[in-house]
Amino acid sequence: MAAREEAGTSKRGWIGETIHVSMFGGFSIRCGDHVLTENSGRTNKVWMLIELLVANHGGELSQEKLIETLWRDEEYDNPLNTLKNLVYRARTTLKGLIGGENVEFIQFERNTYAWNRMIPLRVDADEFEALWKAASDKHQPVKERIRQYQGAVALYHGEFLPKSSFLDWVIVKNAYFTTIYTECVMSLIDLLCKEEDYEEVVRVCEQAIEYCPYEEDIHRTLLYGYYKTNRQKMAVTHYAYITQLFYNQFGVHLSDDTVKLYKEIVKSMHNVEMDLTLIKEDLRESSKVPGAFLCDYDTFRNIYRLQARSMLRTGSSIHIALLTLTDLNGDVPHTDTIRRMMASFQEAVVKNLRKGDVVSVYSSTQLVIMLPMTSYENGQRVLDRLEKQFDRLNRRKELKLIRMLHAVEPVEEELKAFVTR
């Protein structure tokens, strides 16, 4: 049957509607009210072939190229016949777009296959790229460039052909489109900031972080957008979220530019307020929050300095601990290992300390802890308890815990005087 389909190829005209194809966030192909998706019951290979032909519409693909792409590292006794059978199944699938009529979507000529050029396509990836190129022309009016960038980012709905993401050609295309999307977003929000359209800045950034969750520049601009639209509390909440996100995923802190912006936002929140009750409510931490106080390192350092000063007056005992995770040789662990382990260990440390204790991330492999009103002996007992928690988490025995405990001197000193990386 496949062979008869090959012999019957012809160049028919097309009187139907333009076919719309979506490739971002998943593959679908639509003609009027008829829609086919990669979840329509056909095998992956059928959709991989259709996707490849659509992505190369206007061009031709040799039989050898198709076999190499679709069956890489797979062996068949008769690969050409296997390809012909796959083409037949793809043609049958595509007939669902026009109610089963005998329209030839895939043409065969001179040992090559191609999407029928007589059948017009509108592909989101093509339109996305065209709008990006048009918007990149800086000789246009700013509002026109904004319109074009907005059109481009609206077309992007996530990864390019995610169900075929293991194919080499899809990997290359996805990296290309991801780069373009990030460039479109950054250029768009830059233009919007110059136009002082901060509501749109917020909207664009909130959408973009769904697809680019680890682009710190976009997060920073979102913080700025919240600030300019008087949503400072949302900025504070989002800053806490990305601080944790970047540490958990990469074991790194936010850049100086982001931290500086955050401090400016916090300063702007200190408006004149005559109602002390409202101020107390704003300062109050929820009583339901369990365990120690977890904060960024700048906050930890300020708390440390305040405690060191107060010791001159109160004479209270304060100790500080450093917990370092290393591999079994005492070296820095592999990134994946420390990323997996550190988040769980940090959570365990916070839960197993008192509300008055303070915890912060000092580096990708270290936690620093402040234990107010604690003797050296009690501090060691606390570390014993935390080490037991570490042993429960360290089931693979990939890491070891190095612990240090020092008393805080009743003078203002830099924490780094006795805490070494």
Place of tokens 């996530």: 158
Kindly give the pairing relationship between strand 19-22 and strand 121-123.
Answer: parallel
Q: Is residue 315's pLDDT more than 80?
A: no
Q: Is residue 418's pLDDT more than 70?
A: no
User: Can you name the CATH fold of 293-417?
Assistant: Alpha-Beta Plaits (3.30.70)
When pLDDT is averaged across residues 179-198 and rounded to a whole number, the result is 96
pLDDT computed for residue 331 by the predictor: 86
**What is the percent of the chain where pLDDT is above 90?**
47
Question: Domain extents for the chain?
Answer: 2-123, 125-267, 293-417
Q: What type of residue is 313?
A: R
Longest Cα–Cα distance in the chain:
97
Place of tokens 């240090």: 404
pTM summary value: 0.67
pLDDT computed for residue 207 by the predictor: 96
Q: Is residue 175's pLDDT more than 70?
A: yes
H-helix segments, 195-318: 198-211, 216-228, 232-250, 256-268, 276-283, 297-314
Pick the most confident of 40-54, 139-153, 245-259: 139-153
Domain at 125-267: CATH architecture: Alpha Horseshoe (1.25)
Q: Distances in Å between the alpha carbon of 277 and those of 79, 283, 359?
A: 78, 10, 29
**pLDDT tens-digit series, residues 62-98:** 999 999 888 887 777 788 888 999 999 998 888 878 7
Long-range contacts of 142-149 (CB under 8 A, 24+ apart): 142/191, 142/194, 142/195, 143/195, 145/187, 145/191, 146/188, 146/191, 146/192, 146/195, 149/184, 149/187, 149/188, 149/191
Is residue 161 within 8 A of residue 27, CB to CB? The reply is: yes
The encoded tokens of residue 274 equal 């005559």
Q: What does the radius of gyration of the chain's CA atoms come to, in whole angstroms?
A: 30
Is residue 261 within 8 A of residue 299, CB to CB? The reply is: no
Q: Distances in Å between the alpha carbon of 142 and those of 29, 130, 197, 229, 387?
A: 34, 17, 13, 22, 59
Confidence of residue 403 (pLDDT cuts 50, 70, 90): very high
* CATH code of the region 2-123: 1.10.10.10
pLDDT computed for residue 379 by the predictor: 92
Q: Which burial class, exposed, middle or buried, applies to 248 when counting CB atoms under 10 A from its CB (0-12, 13-18, 19+)?
A: middle
Best CA proximity match to 31, nearest among 101, 107, 121: 121
Q: Is residue 283's pLDDT more than 80?
A: no
- CA dihedral (108, 109, 111, 115) in degrees, to 10, reads -50
Best CA proximity match to 161, nearest among 37, 64, 254, 246: 37
pLDDT computed for residue 142 by the predictor: 95
